[in-house]
Amino acid sequence: MFRAERLFRLGEVTEPGPLPAGAARLATAADVPLLTGWFETFASFVGEPQRDFHVADRVADGRVLLWQDEAGRPVSMVGWSGRVAGQVRVAPVYTPAELRGRGYAGAVVAQASRELRRSGSEQVLLFTDLANPTSNALYRRIGYRPIADHTVVEFTAP
């Protein structure tokens, strides 16, 4: 199996479009069960193996931001790595299928990107699947610029 990916680096953050109703907030311990399911669904969708995603640790470290709708219901999320040498990697970004196309992911990624910059991250990076034109276009609108293309190859034993 292989997948073509593109590495992006954040330039100037811009709003990707009109903001949807609702607001961003940091995830809390009460969100961990929901987020664990979202992390697992995301990994399955992109073809990554199931593993321990350390969701509770990410939440405790303040590394998951949610977009909640006007009723306060979480509708999208973005996570990121810890900062190493001034760099963070944004991943994963997930919105349940039935809630896509409403601007939630763009809003939460733009907010997280601004906050990561304000907190001292010099390089904010993310990878996209080149087969997903929606995410590639969205991240460009937010201010991410392509750096390099990569091929992910998975080898299996006979």
Model pLDDT, residue 108: 98
**End-to-end alpha-carbon separation of the chain, Å?**
14
The tokens describing 33, both together, are: 């069960």
Model pLDDT, residue 1: 56
DSSP 95-124: --GGGTTSSHHHHHHHHHHHHHHHTT-SEE
Q: Residue 136 belongs to what H/E stretch?
A: helix 133-142
Candidates 64, 59, 69; CA nearest to 20 is: 69
Q: CA-CA distance, 127 to 131, in Å (whole number)?
A: 12
Q: For the chain, which ranges sit under pLDDT 50?
A: none
The tokens describing 109, both together, are: 């990624």
Q: CA-CA distance, 152 to 1, in Å (whole number)?
A: 8
Count Cα neighbours of 39 within 13 Å in the Cβ-side half-sphere. Answer: 20
pLDDT digits (tens, 9 = 90+) for 101-143: 999 999 999 999 999 999 999 999 999 999 999 999 999 999 9
DSSP 51-80: ----HHHHHHTT-EEEEE-TTS-EEEEEEE
The CATH code for residues 2-153 is 3.40.630.30
pTM of the predicted protein model: 0.93
Locate the domains of the chain by residue range: 2-153
Candidates 74, 62, 66; CA nearest to 99 is: 74
